[in-house]
């Protein structure tokens, strides 16, 4: 896509710090460096978000995660953990609309990145909970 910043990075049209490349994916340091080593993994094929993937593309892209995670661990021995995050659409904090997966090394509890889940367990009756699962599950039949 001509007007896409990540397509331009993949094509070498704008400067970037490449971490890994093969025929299907490209990985480079996120310019914001939320924590040192913060990396983005992107498919070379331009897709906006997860809703444009099929199983084949997903296996090409997501299968690269373990080796990039291990390379980060090797390169950054102080890294104690790793968050892997994929934002889809604006409401979910996506700002660049070429699908990408964040790999965010963690060194300590309080640092540039925080993720908080609200526990709403008490707001659900058992039947309501099961009905919600059923509603989703029907789409695979
Ligand atoms: P998201 O909010 O999930 O869409 O993440 C987009 C990410 O792309 C942000 O973390 C930005 O810092 C990063 N980003 C934007 N432009 C560049 C660039 N030219 N090089 C590297 N990372 C970039
Ligand atoms: Zn693109």
What local confidence, expressed as pLDDT, does residue 110 receive? 85
Q: Is the pLDDT of residue 129 over 80?
A: yes
Task: Catalogue all structural domains in the chain, each as residue range(s) with its CATH number.
Answer: 5-113 (3.30.428.10)
Model confidence at 121, pLDDT cuts 50, 70, 90, reads: very high
Residues with CB under 6 A from ligand 1: 5, 16, 30-32, 87, 93-96
Q: Is the pLDDT of residue 49 over 80?
A: yes
For 54-95, how does the pLDDT look when each residue is reduced to its tens digit (9 = 90+)?
999 999 999 999 999 999 999 999 999 999 999 999 999 999
Report CA(40)–ligand 1 centroid distance (Å).
8
- Token digits of residue 119: 């526990």
What local confidence, expressed as pLDDT, does residue 65 receive? 98
98 given a catalytic annotation: no
Q: What is the DSSP string of 81-125?
A: EEEEE---SGGGT--SSS--EEEEEE-SSSSS--------GGG--
Minimal-distance CA residue to ligand 1 atom 1? 94
For 23-48, how does the pLDDT look when each residue is reduced to its tens digit (9 = 90+)?
999 999 999 999 999 999 999 999 99
Which of 29, 91, 96, 100 to mutate for ligand 1's pocket (most ligand atoms within 8 Å of CB)?
Answer: 96
Q: Are 107 and 78 in contact (CB under 8 A)?
A: yes
Report long-range pairs for 77-85 (Cβ below 8 Å, ≥24 apart): 78/107, 79/37, 79/105, 79/106, 79/107, 80/106, 80/107, 80/108, 81/105, 81/106, 82/106, 83/113, 83/115, 85/115
More confident residue, 1 or 117: 117
**47 φ, ψ (degrees, to nearest 5):** -130, 145
Q: Closest ligand 1 atom to the C-alpha of 85? A: 3
What CA–CA distance (Å, rounded) separates 1 from 13? 13
Q: Is the pLDDT of residue 141 over 80?
A: no
Q: Is the pLDDT of residue 111 over 90?
A: no
What CA–CA distance (Å, rounded) separates 68 from 102? 11
Minimal-distance CA residue to ligand 1 atom 12? 32
Q: Are 105 and 35 in contact (CB under 8 A)?
A: yes
Catalytic residue selected from 98, 100, 102, 138: 100
């Amino acid at each position: 896509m001509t007007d896409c910043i990540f397509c331009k990075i993949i094509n070498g049209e704008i400067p970037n710090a490449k971490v890994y490349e093969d025929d299907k994916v490209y990985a480079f340091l996120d310019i914001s460096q939320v924590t040192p080593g913060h990396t983005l993994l992107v498919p070379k094929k331009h897709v906006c978000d997860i809703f444009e993937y099929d199983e084949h593309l997903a296996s090409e892209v997501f299968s690269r995660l373990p080796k990039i995670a291990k390379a980060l661990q090797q390169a950054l021995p102080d890294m104690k953990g790793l968050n892997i995050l994929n934002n889809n659409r604006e409401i979910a904090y996506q700002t660049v609309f070429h699908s990408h997966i964040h790999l965010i090394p963690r060194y300590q509890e309080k640092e540039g990145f925080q993720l908080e889940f609200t526990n709403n367990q008490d707001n659900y009756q058992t039947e309501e909970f099961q009905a919600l699962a059923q509603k989703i599950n029907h789409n695979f039949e």
